[in-house]
Amino acid sequence: MHTITDDNIAQRALEALWSHPFLVPTGVDIEVANGVLTVSGEVASLVEMETTLDLLEDLYCTGDVRNQLTLARTPLAHAA
């Protein structure tokens, strides 16, 4: 019987994120402890956050995915 380790889960998650054609997960971190996947870091947009979470939840449908992602702050445009 093949046992899936936390390291295997983390590696598969990172490969899935880097393989996605519209994601650049340079600011995303994946940690797995006792089968619980935690995704953290900063993403550029809400769409990027939702895509990341959807991808990880689809990949890891039987496990627990915890979201600790934050949206990048963009400078406010000042009126002249």
Residues 51, 42: Cα–Cα separation, whole Å: 13
DSSP annotation of 45 reads -
Torsion of CA 26, 10, 35, 71, to 10 degrees: 10
State pLDDT tens for residues 15-62: 999 999 999 899 999 999 998 999 999 999 999 999 999 999 988 766
Position 74 pLDDT exceeds 90 = no
How long, in residues, is the chain? 80
- Using CA atoms, how far residue 36 sits from 19, 74, 78, in Å, is 22, 31, 43
36-43 vs 64-71, strand pairing mode: parallel
pLDDT at residue number 75: 53
Position 10 pLDDT exceeds 70 = yes
pLDDT at residue number 1: 62
Query: Model's pTM, two decimal places?
Result: 0.82
Domain spanning 6-71: which CATH class is it, in words?
A: alpha beta
Position 70 pLDDT exceeds 60 = yes
